[in-house]
Amino acid sequence: MDKRVYAVRASSFGSLFDCAYRWEAENILKIHRTTALRAWLGTSIHASTAAFDQAKLDGAPISANEAADVFVQTFYNPDEEVDYKDDKLKLRDAEKIGLTLHARYCAEIAPLMVYESVEMPLQPLDIDCGDNLIIRLTGTLDRARVVKVAGGTVINDVKTGGRLIQDGVVSIKARGPQLGTYQILKEHTDGSHTVGAQITALQTTATTQVGVSRVFDAKPLMLGNEHHEGLISMAAKMFKAGTFPPNPSSVLCDKKYCARWNTCPFHE
C-alpha cells in the first residue's frame, strides 16, 4: 500500500488545531485567499529588516535608511494579489507605520542580537506515524533569524500585526506550534542544538510598538513528554481519520482570514 504523505508547513501547524476545516481548504484543497493590506505590510517589513540583518552578517553593513528602500520597493511592487480595501488602513498610513517599525527595529532590536543566519532554508523531515502515514514537516526561516546564545541557538521569529504586545509584554500565546516545528527542523538540518525560541514583535498599529519575548522551548509541545501527548501525534490521528473539523468560534473565523468562508456552512 502506498504511503500517504501530509506536508505540514511550520507556519500552518497552529491553524490546523485552530480550525482544521480552514487548514484543509488552504493546504490540501489549495483554495487561494487574497492577501490583505496589513499582511502585505508585514511582508514588506520582513524584507527590509532581513536585508539590514543579512548585510551585517555578510560583513558589509548598510544603514537603516538604505535598507528602508527595500521596504518601499517591496511594499509598492507586490508579487501576489493584494486586497487594498480589505483593511481599515490607508496606503500612506501603512507606509508610515512600516517605515517607523523598520527604523525602530534597526535601532532598538537588531543591536541586541548576534545572528547566525537570516532566512535559513530548512530540510524537510519525514515522520513515520504508522498505518502508512507520513507527516512531512517543512518550513523556511524566511521571517525568522537564528540567534547565537550560550548553550546553543534560539529561533527568533519576527512577527508583525496587531495585539502582539500587551502591557509592554510580547505575547507568545499560540506561537508554540510554529516555533517548535522550526526548532525541530533546524536541528534536523544542521545537527545543532536549539535552546528555545522567541518572538520579535513589530506591532503594525498606530502605536508602532516593538519588543522581544522571553525565550521558551516549544519542542515538547510538538513531540510530547511523559505528561502530555505532542501535537504531531495528535495531527497524525486527525490525518488517519481524514477528519478536519470546523471551529466557528475561532477568532480567525472571518472572510478576511478564511479561504473557505464563502462555502463554509458552519460560521452562521
The pLDDT score that the predictor gives to residue 86 is 60
pLDDT for 110 beyond 90: yes
C-alpha cell at 74: 517591496
The pLDDT score that the predictor gives to residue 1 is 64
| 152 bridge partner residues | 149
pLDDT for 200 beyond 90: yes
3-state SS of the chain is CCCEEEEEEHHHHHHHHHCHHHHHHHHCCCCCCCEEHHHHHHHHHHHHHHHHHHHHHCCCCCCHHHHHHHHHHHHHCCCCCEECCCCCCCHHHHHHHHHHHHHHHHHHHHHHCCEEEECCECCCEEEECCCCEEEEEECECCCEEEEEECCEEEEEEEEEECCCEECCEECCCCCHHHHHHHHHHHHHHHCCCEEEEEEEEEECCCCCCEEECCCECCHHHHHCCCCCCCHHHHHHHHHHHCCCCCCCCCCCCCCCCCCCHHHCCCCC
pLDDT for 255 beyond 90: no
Model confidence, pTM:
0.92
Q: Could you tell me the pLDDT band of residue 32, with boundaries at 50, 70 and 90? A: confident
Of residues 85 and 253, the one with the higher pLDDT is 253
Q: Which residue has the cell 511582508?
A: 43
Q: Tell me the longest C-alpha to C-alpha distance in the chain.
A: 57
CB contact at 8 A, 87 and 38: yes
Q: Could you tell me the pLDDT band of residue 194, with boundaries at 50, 70 and 90? A: very high
If you average pLDDT over residues 114-141, what whole number do you get? 93
The pLDDT score that the predictor gives to residue 13 is 93
